Structure 1
Amino acid sequence: MSDVELAAVESFALDHTKVLAPYVRLIGVEHGPKGDAISNFDIRLVQPNEGEIPTAGLHTIEHTIAALLRTRFDGLIDISPFGCRTGFHMIVWGEPTSSEVAEAIKSSLTDLVERVEWDDVPGTTAESCGNYRDHSLHSAKEWSKQVLAQGISIDAFDRSVIA
């Protein structure tokens, strides 16, 4: 091992063989110098090391859910896919509960499956996306259906599925 100094990253300390996806997990809360809170959530849609969402489908879920969540959830800063393609980091102002986040994710995925059409997907042109050709609404809908069929848990290690 080299002498490069690396900071500890919480998600790399998580035992990915013990979690039970799909789930919403609070990674942590940071407080700024003025007391503002920023919460970081692990939105895991696919069981780690057993599957991954293809990039085109994940890309379309990312663009669509980013817009849908902003209509349901105050304080969303960002929702970005994990490189492993099993879910997303969601960064929000304040300290919402995992249940509140899970409800917003569930209703957004439900809309993606039931109501979203291609013309609704934001950021699908060369002007609005850095890889606009890598989208698939069909894949996004199929993966979202699988997540919804399994249910979204509010516990990463126990299937406490929200109703």
Structure 2
Amino acid sequence: MAEVESFTLDHTAVSAPYVRLISVEHGPKGDAISNFDVRFVQPNEGEIPTAGLHTIEHLLASVVRDRIDGLIDISPFGCRTGFHAIFWGDPAVADVVAAVRGGLEFIANTAEWSDVPGVSAVECGNYRDHSLHSAKEWSKTILDQGISLDAFERVGV
């Protein structure tokens, strides 16, 4: 079986919230694709409820793209403690943090239900499982804790 980096990470040694570069892969034509661990909740100590996480996902998919170029996808971890963010190129961790922080600030302070994209049965595979209230509360909590530039040490929060 192939080794998966996230299963080799010592989840007891990290200190969330943080953004961590997992890897930079290069395609056959030299294109770089970067994978980031965007961790919002301390592993094995809590998790974002599914409806709130789902709404954060939909909003970040849009608002992070407004704040940084190259986002391919931002998808939640099954453990519900954060997201993978996949980018073309190799953006700096600080730039990803700034884009994510800006997205969370929008969610926490400005977003209204009409701002949440893709919430109808046509656009979403589980459109009934959303909570803007939960998304706002979790965004505020994450922002209050600060997003570190380092997974193992609180840096630049």
Q: TM (normalized to structure 1)?
A: 0.95
Tell me, in whole angstroms, the C-alpha distance in 2 between the residues paired with 1:16 and 1:92.
Answer: 23
- C-alpha displacement at 1:89, in angstroms? 0.2
Match of 2:133, SS? helix
- Sequence identity, in percent? 69
Quick one: which of 91, 96, 103 aligns to 1:101? 96
- C-alpha displacement at 1:34, in angstroms? 1.1
Please tell me the residue identity of whatever aligns with 2:77: F
What residue is the counterpart of 1:19 in the other structure?
14
Quick one: which of 74, 77, 88 aligns to 1:79? 74
What residue is the counterpart of 1:155 in the other structure?
150
Match of 2:75, SS? strand
Please tell me the residue identity of whatever aligns with 1:129: C
What residue is the counterpart of 2:24 in the other structure?
29
Q: Across the two proteins, how many residue pairs are aligned to each other?
A: 157
Tell me, in whole angstroms, the C-alpha distance in 2 between the residues paired with 1:146 and 1:51.
Answer: 13
- C-alpha displacement at 1:76, in angstroms? 0.5
Structure 1 unpaired stretches of 5+: 1-5
Which stretches of structure 1, 4 residues or longer, exceed 2 Å deviation after superposition?
none
Structure 2 unpaired stretches of 5+: none
- C-alpha displacement at 1:99, in angstroms? 0.4
- C-alpha displacement at 1:161, in angstroms? 2.9
Tell me, in whole angstroms, the C-alpha distance in 2 between the residues paired with 1:96 and 1:141.
Answer: 27
Please tell me the residue identity of whatever aligns with 2:90: E
- RMSD after superposition: 0.6
Who wins on radius of gyration, i.e. which is larger?
Answer: 1
